[in-house]
Amino acid sequence: MPIHWTISHPTRLVVAVCKDVVNRLDIEAYLDGVVVEGAMPYRKIFELHAAVSGLSDDDMMALGARIQAYAAAPEPMGPLAIVAPTDEQYEYARRYATLAAARRPLKIFRELHVARRWLDSLESGESKA
């Protein structure tokens, strides 16, 4: 699997690390895992350091629509920090953030430690940026 994730219920934190080519089915499996575990309100880090996008424009649109559907649910969505060190990763993350607009804090970072510091400054499920 190109996406490996852990969910810490005690700290209300999800950490996903991507490597190799990541496609829509991989991201949907990750989202399904987060939902099944009841972790949608948790803080999340989505780390792209070793990832290559296998997403088409249609895939990006479908993922954006899926996130918007989650956002319409009564359960809040937790903050999301996307770590995108390269210019290409950053551009994909920016497009995703635009297409997956939701009422939750979302920031894109170049460095993991900065992303973690930001997430640690937020309460899980908090809705401010």
Please work out, in degrees rounded to the nearest 5, the angle formed at the alpha carbon of residue 76 by the alpha carbons of 49 and 117. Answer: 40
Residue 128 lies in a domain: no
Q: What is the pTM of this model?
A: 0.89
Residue 28 sits in a domain whose CATH number is: 3.30.750
Does residue 15 surpass a pLDDT of 70? yes
Residue 123: what residue type?
E
In-domain check, residue 127: no
Can you tell me the mean pLDDT for 16-40?
A: 95
Task: Say if residue 17's pLDDT is above 80.
Answer: yes
Show the domain range for 38: 3-120
Count of structural domains, the chain = 1
Residue 126 inside a domain? The answer is: no
* Predicted local confidence at residue 123, as pLDDT: 63
Judge whether 62 lies within some domain: yes
In a domain, 129, yes or no: no
pLDDT in tens, 42-87: 999 999 999 988 999 999 999 999 999 998 888 889 999 999 999 9
| Tally of CB atoms within 10 A around 124 | 17
Spatial contact of 103 and 127, defined as CB atoms under 8 Å apart:
yes
